[in-house]
Amino acid sequence: MTELLQIDDLTLRVPGRGPLLHGVSLTVGSGEAVALVGESGSGKSLTTRAALGLFPEQASLTGSVRVDGVDTVTADAGALRRIRRVKASMIFQDPRSGINPVRTVGDFLTETLVRWHGLSKADAAARAVAQLEQVGLPRAAALLDQYPHQLSGGMLQRVMIAAALLDEPELLLCDEPTTALDVTTQAGIVELLREQQQARGMGMLFITHDLGLAASLCERVVVLRGGLVVEEGATADVFRDPRETYTRELLAATPRIDLDRFGDAGGAPDSAGAAGSAGAAGSAGAAGSADGVVPEIVAEGIVKRYRIPGRDDVVALDGVSFALERGGSLGIVGESGSGKSTLARILVGLEEATEGELTIDGTVRPQRPLNTAERRLFAATTQMVFQDPYLSLDPRIAVGRAVSDVVRLHRGQNRTDAERTATELLGRVGILPEHLASRPKGLSGGQRQRVALAKALAASPSMLVLDEATSALDVSVQAQVLSLVEEVRDQFGLTIVFVSHDLAVVSRICEHTLVMQRGIAVEQGRTARILGAPQDPYTVQLLESRPQPLWERELAA
């Protein structure tokens, strides 16, 4: 086996800080997949970027990083360009940071094929379309004329994966490439990467916070903590019998589907087993209403159409009905484009339904955009936590002030009292006083998500909608945020709507689950029944798409 990537004793320092990497060593051979796992800030991305010579400005390095025998620490610009264009490709975690927003997707995909591989523009476009189809993108030919802002995050991530594979690299570097993808799309992408790696004899270094995904794809694993390699070895050996306490903590923090959490999963389907009808959809609330529990949400026949000039309407939601009792919790699951986020945005008043009736806390929502007074009144009872907290927090405002401003707006407190309340709320979510003056860019992803949660709680809502609020977090931070959601739900008596593509996370947080496919609620009911005895083939497909460790797959074969 040829060593494609060899990192020896790599230490990286930047002025004013201690070492960010401490003598990191690892290898990736041809035809080999190696997982690099650890918490945010452990040095995973720095180590991977080193293979392409992408070091922080003013960084001081010792050790060596060799790709195809070329040391990227000392290589000149020409050698690095050859490595980046021919030998190694990288899929970045944030696809929007790796693509020029003013050029079309077609320009992005075909440039390397034309300039470095000598293909004609027509042949390059044909190759690009074929690769886009391979990564599961519909209407691939039409995508070539679109711009990045016209694609969803999941679609753009698949474009980036296609671009990396088009270069036919010997070494593929993947930095959380499936974070924005749902489980079915992720399963297809992982299978594609595995097939491409084996067919081409390609080496792959795969960064992920999903240990189940690492186990399903990679033969070896390297565990990083604080820039140090704390454990490495065959994935089966490390995950089944970890030597280090830190590795055991990561494995323990990984969410798993727990069918016993909410009672017996067996038996006949509950009243929510029938998909799509308004009566069946009331499962969560109808059962509660019989016991005198007041529904917080009643949705009847919700339809959402988007009108596109010159084209047919896009139907994002098609007759969705459900009910949820006050203080209950509902998980909304499904693949990208199923209508999950659209439904969540309608629930919080960011969009209005085209048809149907939505009642929140006894008030029927008007089928028109809310005016300023209505929006403010509604925000006092219903708040949302988004997937990317950096985009939902004002980068110019310190986090302490961001929360205190919400307290003043919705609770009517004076500045001094609002600051005191904000400090208490931020403390409850684990933000220390010394961080109150920090702006969002000075916090980690997990800290920003905690601030976003505190900001939502500052309005004293009765309902909290979380849209993929933990999908971008590593497993340990995700476990902390999920524990926090459970804590504030119990403490404040909140009604929780949790949008997620992670069925294990839903099984932990939500008593009830709504399964969406192409805008239709195909199945709904108690979470234990949905995940333990699914009735709809699509729900079965979602469950079967969960990553399966390589050693279990080999035993099954």
**209 with 37: CB under 8 angstroms?**
yes
Q: Label residue 373 exposed, middle or buried (CB < 10 Å: 0-12, 13-18, 19+).
A: exposed
Last residue of a domain, one of 432, 458, 484: 458
Query: Are 376 and 487 contained in the same domain?
Result: yes
Query: Are 175 and 297 contained in the same domain?
Result: no
Residue ranges making up the domain that contains 441: 393-458
What local confidence, expressed as pLDDT, does residue 274 receive? 35
Cα–Cα distance between 242 and 218 in angstroms, integer? Answer: 16
Last residue of a domain, one of 253, 286, 321: 253
Q: How much is the average pLDDT of 215-227?
A: 93
SS3 of residue 488 by DSSP = helix
Q: Write out pLDDT tens, residues 477-488.
A: 788 888 888 888
Predicted TM-score (pTM) of the model is 0.78
Q: Write out pLDDT tens, residues 338-382.
A: 889 899 999 988 888 999 999 988 888 887 887 888 888 888 888
Query: Are 349 and 227 contained in the same domain?
Result: no
Query: Are 37 and 62 contained in the same domain?
Result: yes
Instruction: Kindly state the tokens that stand for 182.
Output: 């749902």
Q: Is residue 121 part of a domain?
A: no
Q: Label residue 364 exposed, middle or buried (CB < 10 Å: 0-12, 13-18, 19+).
A: exposed
Q: Write out pLDDT tens, residues 112-163.
A: 889 878 899 999 999 999 999 988 888 899 999 999 888 877 788 889 989 9
What local confidence, expressed as pLDDT, does residue 293 receive? 54
Query: Are 230 and 347 contained in the same domain?
Result: no
Q: How much is the average pLDDT of 319-330?
A: 93
The answer to whether residue 231 scores a pLDDT higher than 90 is: yes
**504 with 257: CB under 8 angstroms?**
yes
Percentage of the chain beyond pLDDT 70 is 91
Query: Are 469 and 373 contained in the same domain?
Result: yes
Q: Write out pLDDT tens, residues 502-533.
A: 888 899 889 999 999 989 999 999 999 999 89
Last residue of a domain, one of 221, 253, 285: 253
Query: Are 201 and 212 contained in the same domain?
Result: yes
What is the DSSP track for 143-212?
HTT--GGGS-HHHHHHHHHHHHHHT--SEEEEESTTTTS-HHHHHHHHHHHHHHHHHHT-EEEEE-S-HH
Angle at 416 between CA 412 and CA 420, to 5 degrees: 90
Query: Are 186 and 68 contained in the same domain?
Result: yes
Query: Are 443 and 476 contained in the same domain?
Result: no
Number of domains observed in the structure of the chain: 3
Around Cβ 85, how many Cβ atoms within 10 Å? 15
Cα–Cα distance between 191 and 547 in angstroms, integer? Answer: 10
The answer to whether residue 84 scores a pLDDT higher than 90 is: no
The answer to whether residue 426 scores a pLDDT higher than 70 is: yes
Helix residue ranges, H only, 232-324: 235-240, 245-253, 278-281, 283-290
| 383: enclosing H helix or E strand | strand 382-385
What local confidence, expressed as pLDDT, does residue 10 receive? 94
User: Which residues are registered as beta bridge partners of 234?
Assistant: 220
Q: Is residue 428 part of a domain?
A: yes
Q: Is residue 197 part of a domain?
A: yes
**49 with 65: CB under 8 angstroms?**
no
Nearest to 223 by CA among 236, 241, 235, 240: 235
Give the 3-state secondary structure of 320-372.
Answer: EEEEEECCCEEEEECCCCCCHHHHHHHHCCCCCCCEEEEEECCEECCCCCCCH
